[in-house]
Amino acid sequence: MSTFWSIWVTVIVLGTVFGCWWLLLATRKSQVSDSETERTTGHSFDGIEEYDNPLPKWWFYLYVATCIFALGYLALYPGLGNFKGLLGWTAVNQWEAEVASADEKYGEIYAQYGQTPVIELAKDEDALKIGQRLFANNCAVCHGSAARGQVGFPNLTDDDWLWGGTPDAILETLRNGRMGNMPAKGVMPNMNAAQVDQVVNHVLSFSGREKDAAAAEAGEAVFAQACAACHGADGKGMQALGAPNLTDNIWLYGSNYEWIKETVLHGRQNEMPAQSGRLSSDQIQILAAYVYSLSN
């Protein structure tokens, strides 16, 4: 906030508090008047007159206390333009303090699980409950609350793995993230339209769904040249590269001719973000056990 706006805000805030104070004192009447004319406001509605009695004491003092409280609050907390308040409170440091106290409270529970091997942890009901909550907060946006994924985001419950389903592979995925990279036309940038059709048919033939048997057969050579380096000669994939198994009829993207053609023509880039900067290693251990438990 610039100095001008800071002063502007300060003047308005303090002006309001003192204005309320002034209004109270200026209109205050401390005693019941003796004279009959001064005891009423002077208004008369259908013969009914309104008394002009002093404010009840409790009300008066409550009002004064409110003004004093407001000034005290403004001295301690930010509220007057750029003035930070004597306590130095900010939303960020309050949040940090809460995180620190949560770490103190839950850190021990997490630590106890953090030392347990994933396979053992995956049998621990309490750990899995924590894992489910961590998953809902950190992973469900992409993988879905039931971890079944959606187009481009793998299903974690089906025991079909891009990068591997062993505890170590899952831990590696969570800690450091994964970059799936399928180049357009594989490693055959000069692939022509007929060859694209052939190789797509060949991929479909892995799950017995080719549209054109002759093309699918011709696609075998194209596949060997352009695709096998990553997906394997038999199309069963390669977890070291995150290259999916194309023979199991489980698809990260669509399964029909058009989707596969799209993948071949334009490639696919996909990222699982690394979690080690966001979550503690104990939390990652618990999540790995949760993910492991979904398909074991």
> Where does this chain bind ligand HEC (CB under 6 A)?
138-139, 141-143, 152-154, 156, 161-163, 170, 173-174, 178, 180-183, 185-187, 199, 203, 226-227, 229-231, 241-244, 246, 251-253, 260, 263-264, 268, 270-273, 275, 287, 291
Cβ neighbors of 24 (< 8 A, separation 6 or more) are: 60, 63, 64, 67
Closer of 81 and 235 to ligand HEC (Cβ):
235
The token pair at 196 is 């694209």
Closer of 26 and 151 to ligand HEC (Cβ):
151
Q: Alpha carbon of 78 to those of 11, 89, 92, 132: distances in Å?
A: 14, 7, 13, 39
Q: CB 58 → ligand HEC: shortest distance, Å? A: 56
Q: CB 193 → ligand HEC: shortest distance, Å? A: 13
Q: CB 211 → ligand HEC: shortest distance, Å? A: 15
Alpha-carbon torsion (117, 122, 127, 133), positive or negative: positive
What letters, b where the CB count within 10 A reaches 16 and e where it falls short, cover 175-195?
A: beebebebeebbebeebeeeb
The token pair at 290 is 């949760």
Q: CB 239 → ligand HEC: shortest distance, Å? A: 7
Torsion of CA 110, 115, 118, 120, to 10 degrees: -100
Closer of 81 and 154 to ligand HEC (Cβ):
154
CA atoms within 13 A on the CB side of 247: 10
The token pair at 241 is 């590269």
Residue 252: how many CB atoms within 10 A of its CB?
Answer: 21
Closer of 116 and 256 to ligand HEC (Cβ):
256
Closer of 203 and 216 to ligand HEC (Cβ):
203
Residue nearest to ligand HEC (CB): 180
Q: CB 178 → ligand HEC: shortest distance, Å? A: 5
CB 70 within 8 A of CB 80: no
Q: CB 108 → ligand HEC: shortest distance, Å? A: 22
Measured CA to CA, the distance from residue 223 to residue 23 in angstroms comes to: 86
Q: CB 275 → ligand HEC: shortest distance, Å? A: 5
Closer of 60 and 253 to ligand HEC (Cβ):
253
Closer of 80 and 199 to ligand HEC (Cβ):
199
